[in-house]
Every structure is written in structure tokens, then in C-alpha cells.
Amino acid sequence: MAENLSGKALATAIRADVAERAAKLTASGVTPALAIVVATDDDGTLWYVRSIVKAAEKVGVRAVIHTVENPTVEAIAATLTELAADDGTHGIILQTPLPKGVSLTDLAHLIPAAKDIDGASPVSAGNLVIGTPAFAPATAEACLELLAHHGVPLSGKRAVVIGRSAVVGKPVAQLLLRADATVTVTHSRTVDLPAVARTAEVLVVAIGRADFVTAEHVAPGAVVIDVGTNTAADGSLVGDVEAASVDGVAGVLSPVPGGVGPVTTALLLRHAVAAAEGGF
């Protein structure tokens, strides 16, 4: 059985740090506040957004959901522009999914880098590539934090990322590269994906398909990070990794739920506090 790369203890530690910093800010007259712009009535998304609000309240961060009625590009843009100019809002999250015909790339540039706590804007993405301070997408950063927390070395290691989304795959590749790993990005067009994946000492899976990665994708002893958050037929949360089969091959495996997820939420709150402090 693979070692369990739980994110719970790490998330707890991050939240404790956030609570301390939030209390200091509040004492100095600034209540750290984040805004979540929601343009969907998807149940799962609304549940997730409310879970962020609850987690924020627990650590002294104010989180406000801004639901955009009749969410056209223009209407969402107007909300983002208003929040960008609002001194009382330190962090802005534009929650996906967006309505049909509305793309994150049409809107993310409206979030100023200093408030872009989920690293969605082109400026944040570019700074991540170039190496200047910026907020990384929280999910991507959570993978690296989880690896660091469990003492997994990355310098010189072969890392393979499955998935090339702008939200996870590409930024996690940038962060792994910054940590001196040798990084391969794979995707739907990759030929013989299992063989490429088996070259990985560290395998990050962010393809968005339930149970996609099986034992044939994993080298014996590899570290496997499962970023997937898929909803199973029975409504439960399942990852991109078929844990039952991978567990016998991997050396270390992050669980879903309880791995990357709680760390991601904690990092969003840490970013909000950092933004309120005036940094990254």
C-alpha cells in the first residue's frame, strides 16, 4: 500500500497561520476580504463556493459571494471591474464554470494581479513563467506544498504532468520546473501515455476524468498527486486516479478527497491575507 499523502494536517497548519495574520490585520483596522464572483447555478459549484465562505469565516477572512444575474460577458466584466476598484476587496476569485459562450480568457485580465488570488489573469500566468512575484493558481500551488510538506525532493527528479489546462496542468508544470524538476507535460494527443507516465518519479494527474490513471501509468515507488475532483454516479467525489489499482504500485499517493483539495482552499485564504497585507 502506498503512503497516504494527506493534505489535512498541512491545510490545518496553513489555516492557523492565516488566522493569526488575519487577526493582526483586523486589529490594525483592515479586515481581509475576498470576493467570489459566481455566474452559474450549478449545484456542485454553489456547494464548493459556500465551503470556501465557511472556511474563510473560521479564520477571520470575510468572503462575499457576488452572484451575477443574467451573466453575460458584459455583466460579469462590470462586476469584476467594480471589485477591482473596491479598496475593501483584497482578493477576487472568478469561479468556474462560466456560462456557455463566456470564456475565462475574456474576463480574467480584468482581475488586477495584486487581487488575483487564484492566479487566473494573464499577468499572473506570465509572472509565474518569468519568475516574478505573483499568485499561482491555488490548486497548482497546493500540489507543490503537499510535496514539500511530505518531504518529497524535486530537484533533478523526473516529473510528468497529465493534463495541460491553464488552471492546473500548465502552472503546476511551471512550479515543478522552478523547483528544478525535469518536467514533461502530457495530454490527450500524447502517444503511449502509460509509457510516458511510467518515466515519472513524481506524477501529477489533472486530466479531469474519473479513474483515468491506473497501475499501468505508474512506476513502482512513484509519488502520485491526484488533482481530480470528479463526481461519481452516487454523488461522491472521486479523483482522476483509480486508487484501488495504483495503491499497490505507487510509493506515495494523495487521496481524493483529503489530498490536494483542503490545501487548495487553505491557500486561497492565505493568498487573500497576503493580498490584504499588500504582498503575494
Binding site membership: which residues? 163-165, 229
125 three-state secondary structure: helix
Query: Residue 25 has which C-alpha cell?
Result: 490585520
Amino acid code (one letter) for 50: R
Helix (H) or strand (E) segment spanning residue 8: helix 8-27
If binding is defined by CB under 8 A, does position 186 make contact with a second copy?
yes
Near a second copy by CB under 8 A: residue from 21, 66, 115, 170: 170
Instruction: State which of residues 59, 68, 123, 276 lies at the interface with a second copy (CB under 8 A).
Output: 123
Helix-then-strand count for the chain, H and E: 10, 11
Alpha carbons 159 and 152: distance in angstroms, whole number: 12
**Ranges within 187-216 binding a second copy (CB under 8 A):** 187, 189-191, 196, 199
The SS3 call for residue 160 is strand
Show the 3-state SS of 45-57: HHHHHHHHHHHHH
The binding site for NADP(+) comprises: 163-165, 229
Nearer to a second copy, 26 or 199 (CB): 199
For residue 182, the cross-strand partners are: 158
Binding footprint of a second copy, residue count (CB under 8 A): 39
**139 makes contact with a second copy (CB under 8 A):** no
Cβ proximity of 91 and 78 under 8 Å: no
> Which of 70, 155 has the CB closer to a second copy?
155
Q: Of the listed pieces 8-16, 143-151, 162-170, 255-263, which binds a second copy according to CB under 8 A?
A: 162-170
* Beta carbons of 250 and 229 less than 8 angstroms apart: no
Of positions 79, 139, 184, 254, contacts a second copy by CB under 8 A: 184
For a second copy, give the closer residue by CB, 29 or 156. Answer: 156
- Of 72, 132, 231, 236, the one binding a second copy (CB under 8 A) is 132
Rounded to an integer, what distance in angstroms lies between the CA atom of residue 37 and that of residue 52? Answer: 12
Which of residues 97 and 248 has its CB atom nearest to a second copy in the complex?
Answer: 97
Q: Which residues bind a second copy (CB under 8 A)?
A: 105, 108-109, 121-132, 134, 155-158, 164, 166, 170-171, 173-174, 177, 180, 182-187, 189-191, 196, 199
